[in-house]
Structure 1
C-alpha cells in the first residue's frame, strides 16, 4: 500500500481504535477529568509563584479577600501549595488508573475480536499466511496497541492539556509576548510530522521481523525431533540469529529517529524561550516583577510536556501501524455461510456433478469434471498417486474449500444451501495428520461441541470401541490425563486411536477416513478393524487410502490421476480390467508381500 495512502488513513485508523473506548465512556471521562485536574496544577503553580514574589516585595496577596477572608501570606501561600499538591495527586490517580482500566478492556476486546475473526476465516487465508506472523499479530502487535492506548493516550491528554492551560495562562498574562513563543509551533509540527512517517514505516518493518522471529521459533519447537535428527541445530540457530539481527537493526533505526527528534525539538523550544526572555528584558513595560516571574515560570514549564508529547509520538505511530495490521485481520471476509438449510441428521447420499476446483492463485485445476454418487450407507474409496486430488476432493464435502464449478449435493440438497455449522455436524473426519490439544484425553475425544453433551461414560465407550482404553487405563489419571502439546506424550498409534474415538463419539452420518490407520502398527490395526467396521455401519463413508489392501471390500473404488477420475469399480472389477488400479495393486503387492487384512468386512 502506498505510504501516502497510509498517512491519509492513519487518523481514521486511530479514530477507529478509539471507538473501542465507547463501551467504557464513563471510566474514560473520569480519567479525562483526573488528567485535566493534573494539567491545571501546572499554571496554578506558576500563579502561586507570582503571589510568592509579590509577598516577598511586601505587597498584600489578595487571593481570598474577595471571599471576606484575611489570611496572612505566611500561612496562605504554603497552604495553597499543599492544597494544589493534594488535588494534583488525586487527579494523577484518577487519570492513570481509569485510563489503564479502559485500555486494558480495549486490548481485551481487540484481542477477542482478532481471535473470533481468525477462527472464521477460510482455509485459503491460513494457506497464504504463515502461523508466525498470525501469532505475532495476536501477541506483539497487540502490545503495541496497548502502548498507544495506555501510556500514549495518558501522556497525550495529560501533557496536551498542560500545554493548552499553560499557553492560556501565558496569553491571559501577556498575549503579545506569547505570540513570539507560538511562532515556533509550525516548525515543531513539521519536525513531528516528518518523524511520524519514519516511526510508522520502521514500526511496520519491526512487526514483520517479529513475525519472522516467531515463525522460526515455532517451527523449531514443533519440529525439534527433525531438527535434532537431521543435525539442523546450527542451521536453525543461524536462521534465528539472522531474524533477530534484522529485528535489532529495524529497532535501532526507530530508536535513532526518536533520539534525534527529541533534542531537535528541545533546541527549537529553547530558541523560542530565549527570544521570550529577550522580550521580557527588553520590553518589560508596566508589568510587575512578580507577574513577569509567574509568566516566565509558566513558559519554562512548557518544554517538558512538549518533549513528552514528541517522545510519545513514536508509541502512537507504532500503535497505528499495529492497529492497521489488527484491523486488516478483523476486516478479512469470513468463509461464506449463506446457507439456511438445516437438518438434524442427513441420510448421507452424496452426489458430485461435474465438480471442478482450483486452489486460489493456482493456474491449473486440482479437480476436473468429478462425477459420482455415493448412496447412503455405502463405502467409496479414493486411490491414486500423491497429488492426484484425493484429499482435496474429500475436503470439499465439509466445505473446507468451496468447489468452483459444478455441484455437490447431500440428500439432494446443494452443499452451499446448508448452514455451515450444521453441514459440518453431519461429517466426522479422521486424517493421517492428527491434531490433539494440550488438554486431557477426555477433552480431546469430546472436543468442541461434543464436550457439551458427552459424559465420561460416553467418552469411555468411544475410547473402548477405538481400542484406546487399553493404553488409557495405564495412564496416571485415566481419561483425565494430560496428553501434552499436540499429543507429544503419546505414540503415533495412540494419537490415531484418540482421533478415531473422537469420530466415533461424534456419531455423524458421513465419515471421512484419510489414511485413518496410517500410524498404526499391524497389531493395533487389526484391533481396530472391527471397531471401524462397526462405526461404518449405516454411515456413508469416504476412504482415502494408499495401501490398497485395506479397501478391497469397498462398494466402489475411484482411481484419480491429475484431478480426474480415470477408473471406477469394485476391487475385483478393477483388477480384471488390468489398467491403472491393477498396476498400482501389483506394485504394492510386490512391495508389501504380507498384505494386510482389509478394514472393511
Structure 2
C-alpha cells in the first residue's frame, strides 16, 4: 500500500497534510471534554458553586463539540478529494503501464485480471483511503493521548485498561492473520469469474447455438459458490471483531466503575474534598478509557477494509513494477526506406524452450510483395509479429530500413509500418475515428479517410450507412460484418501511409471479387510500398514477387509461384488442394 503513495500528486499531499492538522485539532477538542466533565462534577458537588459557573463550563463543552464537528466536516471533504485524486492518479498510472505492455506481459497477467486490477482493486484502495485517512491518523493518536491523560491517576485502573487493550489487540491480530490469505484468494476467484463472464458474453452466439447455457451456468456457479464460501468465511471471522470490541468497551466501563467505587469507599468520609477529587478522577478515567476502546473500535472498522485493500495494492504494484520485455531504442532515422530483412532469425515464446521459427533469412526490398504460406501452426503470424516487434527474436536480427528493430524508438518503428491483425479489431466510435486511429504520418482530413476507404474497397458499404464516415461503430465492431471489419481495418493501415504494409491473413473474410479488386488497387496505388502478406489462399499471393513457404517453423521454399510449383513439394501440395487442374498449369 505504501508503494502506491508516490502516485499522490502535490495537491493531494497538501490536502492530506491539512487533514492531519485538522485531525489533531479534533483530538484536542474531543479530549478536552473529560476535563470539563470533571470540572462540572466538582461544581455540581460543591455547595458554593453557582448556576452561571455551571452554564459557563457547559457552554465551553458545547464550543469544543461544535469546533470538533466543524473540523470533522472540513476534514471529510478534504479526505474525499484526496481519495478521488489518489485513485485517479493510480488508475492513470496502471492504464498507461498496461498500454505499454507487450504480448509477453499480457499473457502473464491475462485480460480479465488486468481489467479487475484497473477497476475493482483500485476501488478497494480508494475506499480505504476515503474512510481510513482520518481514522488511521485519529485513532492511534487519540489512544496514545488518552493513555497519557490517565496514566498516574490510578495504577490499578491503568492495569485493568491495559489488559483489555492487549486482549483486543491479540484478537485483532489473530483474525487478520487468518483472513488475509483468503482475501488474496478472493481476488483470484474474482478474476476467474470475470474470465468466465467475459468468455460467455463474447461467445454468446456460440453458447446459444450449441445449447450450452446450462454448461456455462454450471461453470459460473462453481466459481461463484467458491467465491461466496471464501467471502462468508472472511465475513464470519470479521463478525467477531465489532461485538468483541463493544463487549470490551462496556465491560471495561463496568469494571472501572466497580473498582472505582471501592477506591472511593476507601477514602475517609470525613475528608469530603479528597473523596470528591477521587470520584472526579474515576469519572474522568472512565471517560478516557472509553476513548481508548473507541479508538480501537475505529481501527476495527478500518481493519475490516485493510486486508482486501492491501491485497489489491499488491496486485496493482505487480502491474506497476512489471518490467516490459520490450524496450525502445534511440534511433529515429534509417539509411534505407521500405526494406525488411531477416538474418538467421530463430524464436521461441518465453513460456517454452521449443523454437517456433528456426533460421529464417530473407529480404523484402522497397515496393516488393513478399508472401508467407504454410499449414496452420507453421509460424506465419509469429514471423510477421517479429517484423512489427510484438516480440524480439531470440536469435538473429530483424531489420527494418536497414536498422535493427530493437534500435528504433517505438514511434519511429511503428510510423514505418501499417499492420493488419489476423483478427480485425475496431473500437467504439465512428468509421472516421477508426480509420484515423493513432498517430501517423498520414493526413487526418475527411478526404484522406475517403481515399483509404476507396483503396480498401470499403466505400461501397460505408456510403450506404447513415452518416457515411460518421456512421457509428459499436464496441468490437459488432454492428458490421466480418468482411466489413477487415476492410475497415485495412483502411486504417492504409491511412497511415506507411513504408511497409503487413497483412496477417487479412483477406480471409473477403470474397474473391473484393480480394482481387483490393490487390489490384494496392498494386496500382502503392507501387513503392513494401507488402508482407500472410495468406491461406494461393490465389491471394500467386502474383507476389517472393513467396516463402513455412513448415513447422522452418523455411522450406522461397521463390515465385512458378518456381515453387517446380521445386517445393509443400507448396505443390497446398496448390493441388486449392487450385483446379487448369489453374495449376496456368
TM-score band, normalised by the shorter chain?
A: over 0.9
Unaligned runs of 5+ in 1: 1-13, 62-69
Aligned counterpart, 2:19: 31
Aligned counterpart, 1:389: 379
Aligned counterpart, 1:87: 67
22-31 or 247-256: which moved more? Answer: 22-31
Which whole-Å CA distance do the structure 2 matches of 1:346 and 1:161 have between them? 68
Match of 1:47 among 20, 35, 46: 35
Q: Is it true that 1:428 corresponds to 2:415 in the alignment?
A: no
Shift of 1:535: 4.6
Write the deviation string for residues 449-468 of structure 1: whole angstroms up to 9, x where unpaired: 14995122211221122222
Unaligned runs of 5+ in 2: 268-273
Aligned counterpart, 1:588: 578
Instruction: Describe the SS at the equivalent of 1:354.
Output: strand
Shift of 1:373: 1.5
Match of 1:20 among 7, 25, 29: 7
Q: Is the 8 A contact 2:257 2:282 kept in 1?
A: no
Q: Is the 8 A contact 2:516 2:540 kept in 1?
A: no
Shift of 1:96: 1.0
Instruction: Describe the SS at the equivalent of 2:30.
Output: helix
Match of 2:144 among 159, 164, 189: 164
Q: Is the 8 A contact 2:338 2:401 kept in 1?
A: yes
Which whole-Å CA distance do the structure 1 matches of 2:47 and 2:188 have between them? 65
Aligned counterpart, 1:564: 554
Q: Is the 8 A contact 1:196 1:317 kept in 2?
A: yes
Aligned counterpart, 2:279: 289
Q: Is the 8 A contact 1:40 1:165 kept in 2?
A: no
Instruction: Describe the SS at the equivalent of 1:147.
Output: helix
Query: Where do 1:122-271 residues align within 5 Å?
Result: 122-171=102-151, 173-174=153-154, 177-269=157-249
Q: CA RMSD in A?
A: 2.4
259-268 or 504-513: which moved more? Answer: 259-268
Aligned counterpart, 1:414: 404
Write the deviation string for residues 450-490 of structure 1: whole angstroms up to 9, x where unpaired: 49951222112211222222222222222122110111111
Instruction: Describe the SS at the equivalent of 2:503.
Output: strand
Identify if the C-alpha distance between structure 1 residues 149 and 578 changes in structure 2 by more than 3 Å, giving closer, same or farther.
closer
Instruction: Describe the SS at the equivalent of 2:579.
Output: helix
398-407 or 512-521: which moved more? Answer: 512-521
Which whole-Å CA distance do the structure 1 matches of 2:9 and 2:432 have between them? 41
130-139 or 415-424: which moved more? Answer: 415-424
538-547 or 337-346: which moved more? Answer: 337-346
Shift of 1:289: 2.5
Which whole-Å CA distance do the structure 1 matches of 2:38 and 2:447 have between them? 82
**TM-score normalised to structure 2 length:** 0.92
20-29 or 267-276: which moved more? Answer: 267-276
Q: Is the 8 A contact 2:335 2:401 kept in 1?
A: no
Q: Is it true that 1:363 corresponds to 2:353 in the alignment?
A: yes
Which whole-Å CA distance do the structure 1 matches of 2:405 and 2:506 have between them? 25
577-586 or 396-405: which moved more? Answer: 577-586
Match of 1:518 among 508, 518, 529: 508
Query: Where do 1:528-547 residues align within 5 Å?
Result: 528-547=518-537
Which whole-Å CA distance do the structure 2 matches of 1:172 and 1:48 have between them? 19
Aligned counterpart, 1:65: none
Identify if the C-alpha distance between structure 1 residues 344 and 79 changes in structure 2 by more than 3 Å, giving closer, same or farther.
farther
Write the deviation string for residues 187-228 of structure 1: whole angstroms up to 9, x where unpaired: 333222222222321211111111112111211122222222
Aligned counterpart, 2:434: 444
Q: Is the 8 A contact 2:507 2:535 kept in 1?
A: no
Instruction: Describe the SS at the equivalent of 1:530.
Output: helix
Which whole-Å CA distance do the structure 1 matches of 2:138 and 2:24 have between them? 7
Q: Is it true that 1:468 corresponds to 2:448 in the alignment?
A: no
Matched residue count? 574
Match of 1:551 among 541, 547, 551: 541
Q: Is the 8 A contact 1:432 1:517 kept in 2?
A: no
Instruction: Describe the SS at the equivalent of 1:381.
Output: strand
Q: Is the 8 A contact 1:427 1:508 kept in 2?
A: yes
Aligned counterpart, 2:321: 331
Shift of 1:318: 1.3
Identify if the C-alpha distance between structure 1 residues 340 and 308 changes in structure 2 by more than 3 Å, giving closer, same or farther.
same
Q: Is the 8 A contact 1:33 1:91 kept in 2?
A: no
Q: Is it true that 1:379 corresponds to 2:369 in the alignment?
A: yes
40-49 or 498-507: which moved more? Answer: 40-49
319-328 or 529-538: which moved more? Answer: 529-538
Instruction: Describe the SS at the equivalent of 1:185.
Output: helix
Which whole-Å CA distance do the structure 2 matches of 1:370 and 1:376 have between them? 19
Which whole-Å CA distance do the structure 2 matches of 1:542 and 1:241 have between them? 46
Identify if the C-alpha distance between structure 1 residues 144 and 595 changes in structure 2 by more than 3 Å, giving closer, same or farther.
farther
Write the deviation string for residues 83-127 of structure 1: whole angstroms up to 9, x where unpaired: 122201111112211111111111111111111111112211212
Q: Is the 8 A contact 2:103 2:390 kept in 1?
A: yes
Identify if the C-alpha distance between structure 1 residues 569 and 22 changes in structure 2 by more than 3 Å, giving closer, same or farther.
closer
Identify if the C-alpha distance between structure 1 residues 60 and 301 changes in structure 2 by more than 3 Å, giving closer, same or farther.
farther
Shift of 1:242: 1.9
Instruction: Describe the SS at the equivalent of 2:509.
Output: coil
268-277 or 209-218: which moved more? Answer: 268-277
Q: Is the 8 A contact 1:258 1:311 kept in 2?
A: no
Which whole-Å CA distance do the structure 1 matches of 2:335 and 2:95 have between them? 30
Q: Is the 8 A contact 2:345 2:358 kept in 1?
A: yes
Which whole-Å CA distance do the structure 2 matches of 1:428 and 1:186 have between them? 67
Which whole-Å CA distance do the structure 2 matches of 1:199 and 1:291 have between them? 41
Identify if the C-alpha distance between structure 1 residues 95 and 117 changes in structure 2 by more than 3 Å, giving closer, same or farther.
same
Aligned counterpart, 1:3: none
Instruction: Describe the SS at the equivalent of 1:368.
Output: strand
Instruction: Describe the SS at the equivalent of 1:322.
Output: helix
